[in-house]
Amino acid sequence: MFINAILLALREIRRNLMRSFLTILGIVIGVAAVITMVTLGNGATRMVGEQIASLGSNLLILRPGQSMGPAAFGAPNFRLADAEAIRAQVSALKAVAPIVSSGAPLVAGNNNWSSTVTGATNDYFIAGNWKIAAGRIFSEDEQHAGRAVCVIGATVQSKLFGHQNPVGAELRVKNFSCLVVGLLTSKGQGAMGMDQDDVVVMPLKTAQRRLTGNPQDIRVILLSMRDGAAPEPIMAQIRKLMRERRKIADNDDDNFNLMDTRQIAEILSGTISTITTLLGAVAAVSLLVGGIGIMNIMLVSVTERTREIGIRLAIGALEHEVLLQFLIEAVALSAFGGIVGILLALISCLGLSALTHMPFEFQPGINLISFAFSALIGVLFGYMPARRAARLDPIEALRHE
Amino acid sequence: MNTPTPTPLIEFRGVSKTYGQGQAAFLALRGIHLGIRQGEFLAIMGPSGSGKSTAMNILGCLDAPSEGEFTFQGVHVERLGRNQRALLRRHYLGFVFQGFNLLARTSAQENVELPLLYRGESAPKRHAAAREALARVGLSGWERHTPAELSGGQQQRVAIARAIVTQPLVLLADEPTGNLDSHRSHEIMELLVTLNREQGITVLMVTHEPDMAGYASRVVHFVDGEIARDDLQENRACS
């Protein structure tokens, strides 16, 4: 009987193909919207996580000024001695990388490019989680004497050297020539349009002398904690040290800020998942509207098929059999809508993730939930019309024109 | 040829039916007494509003009497609920209507199979029984045609096949020839007579055409909710 009811329902759907399609459109769009929102939202969360991780593991960033944005005016820069003091007094750090940076035009052969040049010690490669693809990092002598050498990122390489090996080549940075000694392994493109591989790194002293023109100031200190170290006590220790060194009175605010990248990642992820939930909820409302569409069509269908119902009842169909038939019809419609919606979501997710460079991951959970929900909507909104059909008086129904 | 059994298959004892309430109440049947034996071919005649359709609805277990007793094979139908009456229809009754009432856009075969579907018969059994029923009404080879592709007479034959596919005890026909021309009408009546004689199916038919009533073995005339005449016909048409 149950299989028969399903067959009957499918036959009925096939009989009114166009109308059935229009009926399920609401469900299709609802399911597709819910799945797309949640999938893309999760993709964004994961991407942020990956990006933060690619900045470096257990990374702290120490900058002058109070805000998270550009350094506030008036806050003095750090000195190299600040970095040395941190290295000497805070034990749970595996890398302390003072850096300066400046935008600079780059020329190699006939090719031009403009990039951010970072002056840093070899600790920068540890703190930034960088791997060397070819060549080497800086030698003791190069760092100490401030020689004109550099390590470049994959983007700079492809823009200036094409497929040639850049190691050993000359690169003109602003107004001086620089020997490329190493190539960094690509980290891939970041999401917010920022290209992490668009970098040139040179020894701190070289950059201070030839680019920023200030041999003392340090803009940022990157600090990499040892694996498993608790960030809070380390951060407190660094903050205390900096307040002492920068001679901040007890009742004055810090004129520097120290950020834990993992905290940033958590805050960002939390924000994105909140947005994802919201968008998903809005999409779920459209799913509900789709359900009302199904109820509407099923009510029309019951009225239209009053005579048919009369025949079935006269022949000896029981109330619950007629109810089941119409209920299954509604559920089959909405479940079919759910399947089409899942396919649509798959297409839109693939398209959107290709457009936005977000990672796409098929999530069985949300697909399953959306499908189950669409079938549930069929039951909820199909019940009322089905009950109306089952309660018809056979004599009246047979007389219906 | 079956000889009618002496005890009635169906019995009305003081059956009344009232529609509406209070001032607007309308008495469609006024204490009818009627016994129908197995194997009878009964025609119910009467002008419109005489209560013949009401009597037919009650006989078909589609409606319950307001008063009185209605027994089918000794079972008090007036005490049964909606679903129990449906089961009675499913297992013992077959219906033929004036307007054929076939499912549109559904093949003759599937239409005939419909009652078997509700009886839970297996697919091979359904197919075989439906083919056989269609053959019995002379429609072999028309199984795949939908009602729209069949003439009125053929549609009524499909409807009869649907009514007899379950091998019912009683076939209820409500103006079965009302939508047919006279030639097709006589064909349908002869088919009903054949089913009555050869299968022993009790046939109850409502008609307002004396010609058609002439095929019946017994004619009951309704006037104003009461039985005015009850004639046994020895010399039926087409005998």
Listed by start position, the domains of chain A span 2-51+266-399, 76-254
A387-392 contacts at long range (C-beta below 8 A, 24 or more positions apart): A387/A323, A388/A299, A388/A302, A389/A302, A389/A305, A389/A309, A389/A322, A389/A323, A389/A325, A389/A326, A390/A319, A390/A320, A390/A322, A390/A323, A390/A326, A391/A319, A392/A306, A392/A309, A392/A310, A392/A313, A392/A322
* Within-domain flag for B19: yes
Task: Say if the Cβ atoms of A1 and B95 lie within 8 Å.
Answer: no
DSSP A122: T
Residues of A in Cβ contact (< 8 Å) with B102? 311
Residues of A in Cβ contact (< 8 Å) with B86? 313, 316-319
The token duo for A265 is: 């990642």
Concatenating the DSSP letter of every residue in A191-246 gives: TTS-BTT-EEEEEHHHHIIIII--SSEESEEEEEEPTT--HHHHHHHHHHHHHHHT
- What's the average model confidence in pLDDT over A378-390? 91
What pLDDT score does A264 carry? Answer: 78
* Within-domain flag for B237: no
**What is the share, in percent, of chain A residues with pLDDT greater than 70?**
95
**pLDDT tens per residue, range A296-343:** 888 898 898 899 999 999 999 999 989 988 899 889 889 999 999 999
- What's the average model confidence in pLDDT over A101-122? 90
Nearest CA-CA distance, residue A13 and chain B, Å:
13
Range of the domain at B118: 8-232
* Within-domain flag for B3: no
- What's the average model confidence in pLDDT over A264-284? 85
* Within-domain flag for B107: yes
**pLDDT tens per residue, range A208-260:** 988 888 878 888 999 998 887 888 889 999 989 998 888 888 888 888 888 88
Nearest CA-CA distance, residue B221 and chain A, Å:
22
- What's the average model confidence in pLDDT over A355-365? 82
Task: Say if the Cβ atoms of B115 and A315 lie within 8 Å.
Answer: yes
Task: Say if the Cβ atoms of A316 and B105 lie within 8 Å.
Answer: no
What pLDDT score does A105 carry? Answer: 92
CATH code of B198's domain: 3.40.50.300
> Quick one: three-class SS letters along chain B?
CCCCCCCEEEEEEEEEEEECCHHHCEEEEEEEEEEEECCCEEEEECCCCCCHHHHHHHHCCCCCCCEEEEEECCEEHHHCCHHHHHHHHHHHEEEECCCCCCCCCCCHHHHHHHHHHHHCCCHHHHHHHHHHHHHHCCCCCCCCCCHHHCCHHHHHHHHHHHHHCCCCCEEEEECCCCCCCHHHHHHHHHHHHHHHHHHCCEEEEECCCHHHHCCCCEEEEEECCEEEEEEECCCCCCC
Q: Does B91 touch chain A (CB under 8 A)?
A: yes
pTM strictly above 0.80: no
What pLDDT score does A71 carry? Answer: 47
Phi, psi of A356 (to 5 degrees): -100, 0
Task: Say if the Cβ atoms of B101 and A321 lie within 8 Å.
Answer: no
A273/B13: higher pLDDT:
B13
Q: Which of B57, B86, B101 sits opposite A307 (nearest CB)?
A: B101
Nearest CA-CA distance, residue A25 and chain B, Å:
25
* Within-domain flag for B239: no
Q: How confident is the model at residue B55 (pLDDT cuts 50, 70, 90)?
A: very high
**pLDDT tens per residue, range B103-140:** 888 899 999 999 998 888 898 999 999 999 999 999 99
Tell me the C-alpha distance between A142 and A149, whole Å: 7
**pLDDT tens per residue, range A130-177:** 889 989 999 999 998 889 999 999 999 998 998 888 999 999 998 899
Has the ipTM of the complex gone over 0.95? no
- What's the average model confidence in pLDDT over A179-205? 82
Tell me the C-alpha distance between A75 and A62, whole Å: 13
The token duo for B6 is: 């002496």
* Within-domain flag for B149: yes
What pLDDT score does B239 carry? Answer: 45
Q: How many domains does chain B have?
A: 1
Q: How confident is the model at residue A128 (pLDDT cuts 50, 70, 90)?
A: confident
* Within-domain flag for B2: no
What pLDDT score does A250 carry? Answer: 81
Q: Nearest-CA residue of chain B relative to A307?
A: B101
Tell me the C-alpha distance between B31 and B52, whole Å: 13
Residues of A in Cβ contact (< 8 Å) with B120? 1
Number of neighbours of residue A270 by Cβ within 10 angstroms? 11
